[in-house]
Amino acid sequence: MKVVTLNSVQQEIVDHFFSIHGIDGDFQINVVAARPTKLEGFTINASRKGGLIEATIGIALDHSVRYALNRLVAWSKTDEATLIVDDGPDFAVRGVVEGFYGKPWSHVQRLRAISYFGDYNMNAYFIAPKDVPWQRFNWRAQFDAEFLATTKELIEQGHKNGVEIVICASPGLSVKYSDEADVDAVVHRYKQLFTLGARHFGLLWDDIAWELSHEEDIAKYVSTAAAHADFTNRVWNKLLQFDPKIALTVCPMHYSGRGNEPYLQELGLELSGRINLMWTGRSIISEYLDIADAVIFERTTLRQALYWDNFPVNDGGLQSNLYIGPIRGREAGLHKYSAGLVSNPMLQFEMSQFPLFTVGDYLWDTTSYNPDQSWENALVHRIDDEHDRLALRKFMRVTMGTPVGGDPAPDLRQVFRKGVTDWRAGKLQEAGQHFIDAGQEILDNYNYLRQPNFSEPLIIEEIEKWLEKYLIGGEVLMGLGKILQGCSFDLIRRCISGTAADIEALSALHEYLESHRKNLFGDQIGGPLNELMAELQS
């Protein structure tokens, strides 16, 4: 392999890329200065000569070479003879905000995440876990040596992958907005991070009391919005002394709704124009994000929204769910009316990577984004072993669990369509067999996933409780099928007839299914169980 780059920054990115991906093949790559159509874009002119791949990559920004390598290597695995492309991202800020309640991702996971995010063509990683002392409770204290050492490692890993690390502060639980010492406390923390190489910071006012609590603040400010704007602007003015190109992103106290709320209007009017404002859309977890709402937000706040997209997050009361389907309901072209989008992931690091892969695809090209194809590509990207990938896919296809549209159990729905069709036609043996076969397939797949030599043990460890529910679902399906086969069909009433024992057995199956607190299958099993019980009781 021979790679010629323009500078040491590009060389570090290239060397790291090939070292972590273990890519086979002979590459001869020349990186040159160019003017791609899009700011973070790239041009590639590549061809094959026998086993040799020759490529010229043109970029305007050093870190864009990471995205170009993603595209080049993906092409190298095809049979296409040449690659001539001028490509680049739609969204300016593309990434992840680790902003959930609960156990945060570990340092080792974050290091892995940064490499993954580079693979997804993302460029930002906001680290803002709710339930760690340094984020919301001890924000006045300086970062200690251990925190700075691990953060330095994250920033350096980010530089190698084209991902900017954004450390956040959330002072709102105890801040005195009028106190310059509190401004300095936040700025000092940012200065510690600036010394490590950070150039983008987060100031978060979410999930705090709406009323001012200190007498000095009540006397000084006409509203909480005024206090937030004043405090933030004072922080911002001091940050500009470090570097005039520095970036600051703020999460407002009112972060969801129509985007025209009085708080947002006042905050946007007073806030410095270069400060980003986060927004989750119509709801905290928005089923859709569209251009019409984005325009309202921009007119209200005098800036485009930087979306804090609460997908696929599963904190709080959602922890019994896995949201592992693709991102849906985000409008094509939204990037034209947005400063960016960062996705809030699940507590489960490994399983978050499947939906996050699809988020990266959407952010890169909103028009061509295909959620189902992107999701299939995510499986191929994450699971090398084909048999293991198929087994995990079978599990995931009965528990997509997405809160933003799509079928939570598409494969299981097909089983019930066939089963219920035969059931309604009086073909009870055939109907029961559909459910027995589906249940047996789940049991067999469960045993495959739990074998000791499964290639992704971290994934299995993470979904262990959901696998328990998976097994229960398979057993319940088999029980349902056997009960159906023992019933009779009343030709006159055109409905199923059964005994009190059948009804009791169905009730026991339903109770068994609901006894496990993790959620799988959507309503695909529980609903038909209840329906059959009701029919037998009629």
List b or e across 61-71, with b for residues whose CB sees 16 or more CB atoms inside 10 angstroms: bbbbbbbbbbb
Reported in sequence order, the residue ranges of 463-535 that DSSP labels E, i.e. its strands, are 488-490, 495-497
What is the per-residue pLDDT for 187?
98
What is the per-residue pLDDT for 287?
93
Residues 6+ apart with CB under 8 A from 35: 58, 60
Nearest to 298 by CA among 265, 340, 275: 265
What is the per-residue pLDDT for 403?
63
Residues 6+ apart with CB under 8 A from 443: 471, 474, 475, 478
* pTM score: 0.96
Q: Give me the average pLDDT of each 10-residue run along the chain (538 residues).
A: 90 95 88 96 95 96 98 94 97 98 97 98 97 92 97 98 97 96 97 98 93 95 97 98 97 96 97 98 96 98 98 94 95 98 98 98 98 97 97 93 76 90 91 96 98 97 97 97 92 84 94 94 87 84
Place of tokens 């922890």: 319
**Contact 300/265 with Cβ under 8 angstroms?**
yes
Nearest to 434 by CA among 459, 411, 453: 411
**Contact 354/378 with Cβ under 8 angstroms?**
yes
**Contact 154/146 with Cβ under 8 angstroms?**
no
What is the per-residue pLDDT for 528?
84
**Contact 79/87 with Cβ under 8 angstroms?**
no
CB neighbour class for 145 (10 Å; exposed up to 12, middle 13-18, buried from 19) = exposed
Q: What is the DSSP letter of 174?
A: T
**Contact 467/460 with Cβ under 8 angstroms?**
yes
Half-sphere exposure of 435 (CA within 13 A, CB side): 28
What is the per-residue pLDDT for 289?
97
What is the per-residue pLDDT for 531?
86
**Contact 396/354 with Cβ under 8 angstroms?**
yes
Tell me the two tokens of residue 13. Answer: 């990115």
Q: Where are the alpha helices (DSSP H) in 197-289?
A: 215-220, 224-239, 262-270
* Euclidean distance between CA atoms 317 and 517, whole angstroms: 12
- Evaluated on CA atoms 466, 468, 471, 477, the torsion sign reads negative
Reported in sequence order, the residue ranges of 198-328 that DSSP labels E, i.e. its strands, are 200-204, 247-251, 276-279, 305-309
**Contact 255/297 with Cβ under 8 angstroms?**
no
What is the per-residue pLDDT for 402?
67
Alpha carbon separation from 475 to 99, 165, 436, 525 (Å, rounded): 37, 46, 9, 11
* Euclidean distance between CA atoms 117 and 379, whole angstroms: 15
**Contact 271/300 with Cβ under 8 angstroms?**
no
Residues 6+ apart with CB under 8 A from 312: 323, 324, 325, 327, 343, 344, 345, 346, 352, 355, 356, 402, 403
Alpha carbon separation from 147 to 37, 106, 142, 167, 198 (Å, rounded): 40, 12, 10, 11, 14
Q: Where are the alpha helices (DSSP H) in 323-409?
A: 349-364, 371-382, 386-396
* Euclidean distance between CA atoms 217 and 183, whole angstroms: 14
Tell me the two tokens of residue 169. Answer: 């502060």
Q: Where are the alpha helices (DSSP H) in 77-144?
A: 107-119, 133-136
